[in-house]
Structure 1
Amino acid sequence: MEDVIEGELCRLPARELAKLLRTREVSAREVVTAHLERVERVNRAINAIVTLTADQALADAATADERLARGEEVGALHGIPVAHKDNHDVAGVRTTYGSPLLADNVPVHHSPIVERMRAAGAITLGKTNIPEFGAGSHTMNPVFGATRNPYRPTLSAGGSSGGAAAALAARLHPLADGNHMGGSLRNPASFCNVVGLRPSPGRVPDGPGGLPASWLAVHGPMARTVGDVALLLSVIAGYDPGSPFSLREPSAPFAGRLDTDLTGLRVAWSPDLGGLPVDPAVSRVLEPAVKVFLDLGCDVEEATPDLSGADEVFRTLRARIFHLNLGALAESHPGRIKKTLADEIAFGGTLTGARVAEANVRQSRLVASTREFFSRYDLLLAPVSQLPPFPVEWEYPQYVAGHEMRDYIDWMRSSSCISVTRCPAISVPAGFTPDGSPVGLQLVGPHRGELNLLRAAHMFEQATRYGERLPELS
């Protein structure tokens, strides 16, 4: 194991690391030290981890080794280094939400997703960067600045889990948590050549402080492989009595083998989800995916679910959530929240009860029509993002394929319209543009169909292996 200890620990998938740790072929201290050394060497170039907890991580690793040596039972993530998104609370660790208003915020309790990961043995290295209050699919904020794409550091890493995606791609840690409304787990995964899953609402509980009635905001896993995403989902999913909308289905099956025969799988391919503008560079990268699924034995045809009105539903419910969460803060600190978000909060404050109720009704109809679509198909393929990574200096792209974007959320409709359907969706590496920018493929499954979705994504990943291409970082 000497060669692995010296050079390969940071490249191993979490599932392989977990086996080495449980059999004591490597120690948690060796694994954590290797990743901390990589953070020290690489993170400055991409700004992915913004708060580092190195001393505590080493202490936790020593404790993990001692527990295993005593023969104690350990969790599925024993000794695995992770970093948590900077809008997930970690007790005793600065958690800023990317806002100067919370730059010195130190929570006293863990968020539920953090609690579950740590209870399973994960070791916290620190916090990953986000946009201000997690709003916008490009990671930049006044506290820490922008996160850069590991494959092309002049470009965006996406968002809002952009710090997590960049850290994964740069091999700073093998697993990451995230949360998701419009595209926060899928868009950065697409931009950074990693895997991000938006689970079904209720799959990963949010605790009593969440807003489950909207069904837009969910928590989920990110990793470098589909298998590792499934492993983390097995830990963070599961019923929580404090979250009344959480699902009671067991989470253990997600940790099992994902190899499967896709012969006869009914696959719908939608190159633009019904007319959205898509950059030709993205389309060229994704077109070969159809042949991959045909070669895997699937029946593939071009088809798109009816997403009429999904954009308006998303905008209405999202603005209402932001106003409920941040309206009082914005009012008491005028000019201290970025203008794009402040405008959205203000819009949420103008919404009448009738308009919000209408949006909820329209969402229910979209859910029903999507369920009907998935009675005819088992899987939907589509772009994750409508354009490749854009310059890191931009807050958002002004144009996509020649079409002007109305605001900072308009360019991510290929993700946000799927969010409205409540279907699980995953981004899997699908190739690179000629200039070396990653592009992800979006796979969407029927409601609560995460296991089969993960299996299909895994088979595509194994057939293509685009995720194995590493960024050129020292």
Structure 2
Amino acid sequence: MQEITDRGATALSRSIHSKEVSCREVMQAFLARIAQLNPSFNAIVNLAPQDTLLAQADAYDKELAGGASRGWLHGIPVAIKDAADAVGFPTTKGCELLANNKPVRDSVMAARMKDAGCIVIGKTTTPELGLGSHTFSTLWGATHNAWDTHVSAGGSSGGAAVCLAQRMLPIADGSDFMGSLRNPAGWNHCYGFRPTQGRVPQAFNNDVWIDMLSTEGPMARNVEDLGRLLLTQSGYDPRAPLSLQSAIEWRYEPDVSVLKGLRIGWLADLDGHLATDDGVLDVCEDALKHFTSAGAVVEEIPLGFDPAKVWDSWLAWRRAVAGPRVGALMHLPGAREKIKPEAQWEYECSQGMKFPEFRRATETRSAFYKHVAGLFDKWDVLVLPTAQVWPFDVSMRWPNEIAGRHMDTYHRWMEVTTYATLVGIPSLAVPAGFHANGKWPMGIQLMARHSADAFLLRVAAAYEQVRRDFIALRPPQP
């Protein structure tokens, strides 16, 4: 059973299609592991009944025996992040008010994953309304880090990252607004990919323009699975007018020579602008030495744009996205009592925002996009940490201080993730190293120019080859 759950999605796909293992055996293995470990981590919720899932697996085995395959994910168990709709499961978004919110259709991403053959077994945890990079809610409680149950798993795709690291799932989806794919990947020693804005379409949001600042994407334990899931999730959808029409041309062919001569701009803490825990930058710089050893040129560089202006622009855009999402629930009975204070703060701030303020934010964002595009004329990849702090005590709501500096908002400690989001460029989180205590992982964000998703996958695959033994490290079991 453990040997089955150790495999990634691509390896499982080969085993299923070669009939080395059956879909039933795969389902039994993962359900057994979830039963064993989920009580300690609290990463999967609304798990479907075992009998139902085994019957589905049997049906998929019959299809395969008859020569029919639904796709590369045929019969592979997947749990969808509890921010996306999957028919048959409530989409609670970690909010008590949405505990019985049952969708009538799949999200575009979930539909595409089902079309590729996966069996949806439940949902992975997310913080209330996806806000805050620490996965806890009054509905589900806290999700614990895969490497140390005393600290946060990150978020908002915290459940997905923990399930991957602890082998409760072979592959996972997530979504990212302010590092929600990247921070939990970094803190749980796996991969999280925020693709180029528009790469993975969202067709059923109340708004199909501004809301695209948040995007869905893949998470995995290896780059091959990561890339294949992105190919499944991505592609133009006419219902999503900002979705990209160009396809990704990529196949998994790891080549370390990709790193030779690669020009990497290391942004570090933006010349001290980003408050950062001791040891975070050291671990990231140690990871970058592996790029250098493989022939890359790594240089610490300035951002060259006022980060305070970027932050102000970010606050306005975040309010434009988060405020209405919270506002849609404020009329429900008990909303003031049941919606967390941080979410209500987002709503209240959005109510007071005037159009000229938002217009200034859009102009700053546009100027920043042009500036970053210019950086890529010199640098192939820009790098930042995936987080400014190490995983913190799971009982905390958020860190209000970093290295002696006060955090003036509940999300200021994740400022490092806003740069890729604002300019809509792809940002791929890869494992970097561990805290001196050996228990807390940290990652780095690899960022490339707009639409260079396939290029980033090739760079990450080469890095994976260079650090194969380190990437293969797995967390202890409780």
Please indicate, yes or no, whether the TM-score normalized by the shorter chain is above 0.5.
Answer: yes
Which residue type is aligned with residue 471 of structure 1? P
| Residue 464 (structure 2) pairs with residue 469 (structure 1) | no
Runs of 4+ in structure 1 off by over 4 angstroms are none
Out of 283, 288, 297, the position equivalent to 2:281 is 283
Distance (whole Å) between structure 2 residues aligned to residue 290 and residue 328 of structure 1: 44
Distance (whole Å) between structure 2 residues aligned to residue 260 and residue 184 of structure 1: 29
Distance (whole Å) between structure 1 residues aligned to residue 403 and residue 201 of structure 2: 38
Q: Secondary structure at the match of 2:264?
A: strand
| Number of residues of Structure 1 aligned to a counterpart in Structure 2 | 468
Which residue type is aligned with residue 297 of structure 1? G
Q: Judging changes above 3 Å, is the alpha-carbon distance between structure 1 residues 453 and 210 closer, same or farther for their aligned structure 2 residues? A: farther
Q: Judging changes above 3 Å, is the alpha-carbon distance between structure 1 residues 336 and 223 closer, same or farther for their aligned structure 2 residues? A: same
Q: Secondary structure at the match of 1:280?
A: coil
Partner of 1:101: 97
Partner of 2:265: 268
- The Cα of 1:461 is off from its aligned counterpart by 2.0
Check conservation: 1:429, 1:461, Cα contact below 8 A.
Answer: no
Partner of 1:48: 43
| Residue 138 (structure 2) pairs with residue 142 (structure 1) | yes
Check conservation: 2:326, 2:343, Cα contact below 8 A.
Answer: no
Out of 375, 385, 400, the position equivalent to 1:373 is 375
Q: Judging changes above 3 Å, is the alpha-carbon distance between structure 1 residues 430 and 256 closer, same or farther for their aligned structure 2 residues? A: same
Partner of 1:231: 228
Distance (whole Å) between structure 2 residues aligned to residue 399 and residue 254 of structure 1: 42
Q: Secondary structure at the match of 1:52?
A: coil
Counterparts in 2 of 1:75-90, with a 5 A limit?
75-90=71-86
Aligned residues: percent identity?
38
Give the CA RMSD over aligned residues: 1.5
Partner of 1:432: 434
Deviation per residue, 1:325-357 (Å, 9 max, x gap): 221422542232100110111101111111112
Distance (whole Å) between structure 2 residues aligned to residue 325 and residue 96 of structure 1: 13
Check conservation: 1:307, 1:417, Cα contact below 8 A.
Answer: no
Which residue type is aligned with residue 391 of structure 2? P
Distance (whole Å) between structure 2 residues aligned to residue 296 and residue 442 of structure 1: 18
In structure 2, stretches of 5+ residues that fail to align are none
- The Cα of 1:458 is off from its aligned counterpart by 1.7
Counterparts in 2 of 1:166-245, with a 5 A limit?
166-209=162-205, 211-214=207-210, 215-245=212-242
Distance (whole Å) between structure 1 residues aligned to residue 445 and residue 473 of structure 2: 19
| Residue 423 (structure 2) pairs with residue 445 (structure 1) | no
Q: Secondary structure at the match of 1:330?
A: coil
Deviation per residue, 1:161-185 (Å, 9 max, x gap): 0011111111000111111111100
Partner of 1:155: 151
Distance (whole Å) between structure 1 residues aligned to residue 467 and residue 381 of structure 2: 18
Deviation per residue, 1:375-399 (Å, 9 max, x gap): 1110012211001100000010111
Distance (whole Å) between structure 2 residues aligned to residue 412 and residue 133 of structure 1: 17
Out of 404, 407, 410, the position equivalent to 2:406 is 404
In structure 1, stretches of 5+ residues that fail to align are 1-5
- The Cα of 1:212 is off from its aligned counterpart by 4.3
Distance (whole Å) between structure 1 residues aligned to residue 77 and residue 399 of structure 2: 34
Q: Secondary structure at the match of 2:193?
A: strand
Distance (whole Å) between structure 2 residues aligned to residue 35 and residue 71 of structure 1: 25
Which residue type is aligned with residue 263 of structure 1? K
Which residue type is aligned with residue 150 of structure 1? A
Instruction: Compute the TM-score of the two structures, normalised by the length of structure 2.
Output: 0.95
Instruction: Compute the TM-score of the two structures, normalised by the length of structure 1.
Output: 0.96
Out of 9, 12, 35, the position equivalent to 2:30 is 35
- The Cα of 1:210 is off from its aligned counterpart by 5.6
Distance (whole Å) between structure 2 residues aligned to residue 24 and residue 307 of structure 1: 55
| Residue 458 (structure 2) pairs with residue 455 (structure 1) | yes
Which residue type is aligned with residue 174 of structure 1? P
- The Cα of 1:240 is off from its aligned counterpart by 0.9
- The Cα of 1:39 is off from its aligned counterpart by 0.1
- The Cα of 1:260 is off from its aligned counterpart by 4.8
Distance (whole Å) between structure 2 residues aligned to residue 335 and residue 299 of structure 1: 53
- The Cα of 1:278 is off from its aligned counterpart by 1.4
Q: Secondary structure at the match of 2:151?
A: coil
